Structure formats: C-alpha cells, structure tokens
Amino acid sequence: MNNALVIGGTRFIGRHLVEDLLDNDYDVTIFNRGNHDNPFSDDPRVQHIQGDRKDDEALRTAKLTVEPDAVFDCVAYHPGDVVSAVDTFTDVDAYVYISSGAAYGTEEIPKREGVAQLCDCSDEQAQSDSDESYGPRKAEGDRVVFEAASRGINAMSIRPCIVYGPDDYTERLDYWIDRVLNYDRVLVPGDGTNLWHRAYVEDVASAMRIIAEEGEAGEAYNVGDQRLVTLREMVELVADVAGTDVEVVTAGERELAAADLSPTDFILYREYPHVLSTGKLAALGWESTPVEEAMRRSVESHRESERDGAEWDPGREAEERVLSILDTL
C-alpha cells in the first residue's frame, strides 16, 4: 500500500496526515476545494485535485485519476458523505473515515469501541449542521462504515478525542497557552482534576496510517494521548515546557458565579470525565508521543503563530474579580 488519497489535507489533522504519509514513502494526492491555502503547493511529492466532496462525480474522477490504495476522509461531516465515499471507493485496500469521540452516546469511563453505545441519529439530525447533532452524525457515519464492511468494502473508522498541536485552527489549547505566557496567575475552573481526553495531532495522523495498514474492515479505533493529564496538570505542563512559572488558582461554581462566570465558560472544561480507551489502537502497533514532547511542540508552534485563543476568552476582568474574591477568603 503506497498510494494515498486524502480528502481534505490542508488545515490541521489532514495536513499532519500528509506529512506522516510522506515520511512513510507514500505517494500522496490531496482532494479539496482549494478554499484554504495549500501548505504543500511547492512540494512536488503532493498532487492536488480540486473538487468538492459533496459532488459524487468529482469524487469518482479523483478515484479514476489517482487509483488510490488508501483513502483518508477528513471531511465527512454528514452520514451521506460517508455513503458517497464507500460507494465510490469500493475496491480500495483501506478507506479510513474520521469519526469522533463525540460519537459515543453514553458517559462511561473509559469509552471502549464496541462496548460504549453510540449516539442515535434521526433523519433530521443526519441533515443538520448544528453542533448538537455533530456526535449523532459522526455515529451514523460509523454505522455506514460497518454496513459497508459487511458488503466487503475495506472501510474503517477512527475516533479522535479533542485534537491539539501545531496548526490547530480551533485554538482551544492556544487559549490556555496564551494565559500561561501572559499572566502569573491562571484561573482553572473546578478543582483542577477535570479530565477531557486529548489527542496530539501527529499521533492522530500516524494512527490513521496504521489503521489503513493494519486495521480490520468494519472496526472503529479510538485515538487519544496514552497518558492523560488533568486540566491543572495541563496548565502546569504548558508552564513547564514554556520555561515559566504560574500559580494555578482553582475556582468552584460558587466563586465563579460571583463574577457571572461558570465552569463551562472555560474551554477544555467538561464536567464529567471524557476518556477513550486506546488499547485497541495500541494493539496495532501505535504509540502516542510523550505528553511533555507533544506539549513542547504545541507551545513552540503557538509562539510562532498568531493564534491566541481569544475567541474562548471568558474575560480577564471577570477572572481578576474571582481571583481577588479568593484572596479575601
């Protein structure tokens, strides 16, 4: 297997996937609309086909042009997208659909493939673009993959938790890095032990390749850091790799409410722990980057970028109010 077609490929996960595939001697073609800058435009190893994945004819043309062994689908946000893809790439050695940890519909620790239930998806949700229907749509895409595999198509799925690292346009981790780099005291909601599993982007990329090479049709594989850190530990780790000192100050619901804040105003906070089991993926020979190294590369990339996570900022003034209330206690 050495000829890969990446649907997407120019922003974050797909971009790192292309780099991983090149490092592993694949011929790579990316398929996208050309709306975002192509970081590989000067790299003769990466071919580009312009097209919209919503256009079945364009997908078919890409298939006939590239004749890929492996197809990596970074842009399937609706179950219908997965239906089109499995119907187009019927005879490839591997079709890997990026699902999500959000596809799980129950809260249990950890969430295991084939054990934790997936979200249901109504017809209305399947067509929707709302945030609330994201998990249901991803779960329905997984069911399309399973059904396709039962018809002999080599389709598999990967379920990443929150992905972080260089080029992360969601800027979720950037909010926290920005706080650490600019303030001595960082306010963390809850008691600091809050746990929302995260996956380093280069590990998601290598997982996608390994699943294509070693995975089984009809199977889904979770991906996330093998060692998890709590929200407090994450902030301390950022400070550590950035070579700075911060005081982490935790604030519960009542203290935050005094400044009209709530824990969920803080990005990467989730009340109930979200933890994905990664044993099934590790059994294929995958390993995650040590969290210290993953964070070091994330902070380095943050410093070189203009990302500041400002859109997630709950308001420093309100935070200062909470900090001064806590000082008086």
Ligand X SMILES: NC(=O)c1ccc[n+]([C@@H]2O[C@H](COP(=O)([O-])OP(=O)(O)OC[C@H]3O[C@@H](n4cnc5c(N)ncnc54)[C@H](OP(=O)(O)O)[C@@H]3O)[C@@H](O)[C@H]2O)c1
List of residues contacting ligand X (CB under 6 A) = 8-15, 32-36, 52-54, 74-76, 98, 100, 160, 162-163, 170
Query: Which is closer to ligand X, CB of 46 or CB of 323?
Result: 46
Query: Which is closer to ligand X, CB of 63 or CB of 256?
Result: 63
| Minimal distance, residue 266 CB to ligand X, in Å | 17
| Minimal distance, residue 100 CB to ligand X, in Å | 4
Query: Which is closer to ligand X, CB of 5 or CB of 74?
Result: 74
Q: Which residue is nearest to ligand X (CB)?
A: 14
| Minimal distance, residue 58 CB to ligand X, in Å | 8
- C-alpha 5/C-alpha 211 separation (Å) is 15
| Minimal distance, residue 15 CB to ligand X, in Å | 5
- C-alpha 80/C-alpha 123 separation (Å) is 11
Query: Which is closer to ligand X, CB of 10 or CB of 154?
Result: 10
| Minimal distance, residue 36 CB to ligand X, in Å | 4
Query: Which is closer to ligand X, CB of 171 or CB of 319?
Result: 171
